[in-house]
Amino acid sequence: MTDQNNPFIFGAAVGSGLTALAVDRAGADFLLVLNAGRLRMRGASSLASYLPLRPANE
Amino acid sequence: MKHFELSGSPNQISEHATHIYCPTLHGLNGRQADLAMVMPRLDNNRALFDTRTTEGGSYAGVLTCDPFGTADNFLRRLADHGYVGVSNWPSAILFQGHTKRMMASMPATPELEYAWLAGAQRHGFQSLAFFRSLEQGRAALSAGLQQLVLHPGLIPQTTGGPPDLLIASLRDLIEKLRHQVGDVDILLYEHVGLNEAVQATDVGADGAVTFIATP
């Protein structure tokens, strides 16, 4: 997506493989894989990522 | 005097105390244990079942505001695993200010925790409700809970003699709650920050909860 005329790079936060594929096809430069993303995909608030619900680094 | 031991170890620590197993506390010290609610280290509630069947009447330290799963199934599994009681630890009782408002939107509030514990009581569990303030204590009583633990709060340090003001305020808080409901057991969380200068007997509590660090 980036080129000489566009100095910005674009990233997208994803919570599943499906959205990662969609973001890749849309031409994003990088993916953000966040603990919150997994929880958001399951319908919880981003704030749930603070809680001891899942290991954040796995 | 009642005595509970809160620990991240699945094994009973002492024969003279009721064990509260809270997996997310494993490896934390007494001060870090206060922050367990905002440490996404593992799935606390799932880890309660990772060990062998619990024996000896242990309590489970439950993340009661888990947005996933259903309480009925979870409580049935706890009973099958041998737990006889539940406690709201890790807990939202220490949230203040902006954090408290944000987490309440999730929702993660002491009131929700007390409602969950009351539901567990209806399933036959004993309950142990942590609270930090008079308002929270009254909310726990209103929910029908009769075994409470007063957490003294995030204490920086108590040094240089007996902390008389703290003892007086904790004692006053306990007396006010007893005045509201006579038939209630109120225990003191003997926080590591108190340096053993304030104990359950000093504040007129019915017992104590002690945190036992596990390496």
Per residue in A18-31, pLDDT (tens digit) is: 989 999 999 999 99
Contact between B28 and B7 under an 8 Å Cβ cutoff? The reply is: no
Contact of B88 with chain A, judged by CB distance below 8 Å, is answered with no
Chain B residues whose CB is inside 8 A of the A51 CB are 37-38, 40, 63, 65-66, 90, 108
**Which of A53, A54, A57 to mutate: most B Cβ within 10 Å?**
A53
The phi, psi pair for B109, rounded to 5°, reads: -135, 160
Domains of chain B plus CATH, in order, are 2-212 (3.20.20.70)
CA distance A37 to A34: 5
Contact of B166 with chain A, judged by CB distance below 8 Å, is answered with no
Instruction: Report which DSSP code applies to B117.
Output: H
Q: Residues B163-213: pLDDT tens digits?
A: 788 899 999 999 999 999 889 999 999 988 887 788 999 999 999 999 999
CA dist B173 to B50, B108, B111, B131, Å? 38, 24, 18, 11
Percent of chain B with pLDDT over 70: 94
- Cβ distance A53 to B41 less than 8 Å, yes or no, reads no
Q: Are strands B126-131 and A11-14 parallel, antiparallel or unpaired?
A: unpaired
What ipTM was estimated for this complex? 0.86
The tokens for B123 are: 């399933």
Radius of gyration of chain A (CA): 14
Give CA B157 to chain center in angstroms.
21
